[in-house]
């Protein structure tokens, strides 16, 4: 992962800062029977920050998971409604 160096405020020493946020990071694990060259894929995908995970059996399933999770990450936080007294 590309990084750049910035000074650590408390120590005055440089530290590496990731340029790719973990809010957009996923781990994809393919099953042993996956044959990408033949268009066959199956496995499990997990969003690093939230821990949301799902099994997939096609590129469409995998892409749908990415799209759903990234839409949630980009959505503004919801406000809680106050209960009327």
Q: Is 55 helix (H, G, I), strand (E, B) or coil?
A: strand
Task: List own/partner pairs for 26-35 with CB under 8 A and 24 or more apart.
Answer: 26/66, 26/69, 28/62
- pTM summary value: 0.67
Domain that holds residue 57: 23-74
Residue 8 is predicted with a pLDDT of 47
Convert 48-63 to b/e letters by CB count within 10 Å (16 or more is b): eeeeeeeebeeeebbe
The answer on pLDDT for 61 being more than 90 is yes
38 within a domain of the structure (yes/no): yes
Q: Given pLDDT bands bounded at 50, 70 and 90, which one contains residue 20?
A: confident
44 within a domain of the structure (yes/no): yes
- In the numeric block, which tokens belong to residue 57? 């059996």
Number of Cβ atoms within 10 Å of the Cβ of 47? 22
14 within a domain of the structure (yes/no): no
16 within a domain of the structure (yes/no): no
The answer on pLDDT for 38 being more than 60 is yes
Residue 55 is predicted with a pLDDT of 98
Q: What's the structural domain count of the chain? A: 1
Higher pLDDT, 42 or 77: 42
């Amino acid at each position: 992962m590309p990084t750049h160096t910035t000074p650590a405020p408390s120590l005055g020493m440089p530290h590496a800062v990731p340029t790719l946020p973990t809010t957009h990071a996923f781990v994809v694990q393919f099953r042993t029977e996956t044959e990408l060259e033949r268009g066959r894929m199956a496995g499990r995908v997990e969003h690093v920050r939230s821990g949301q995970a799902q099994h997939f059996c096609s590129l469409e399933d995998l892409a749908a998971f990415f799209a759903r999770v990234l839409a949630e990450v980009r959505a503004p936080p919801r406000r809680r409604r106050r209960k009327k007294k």
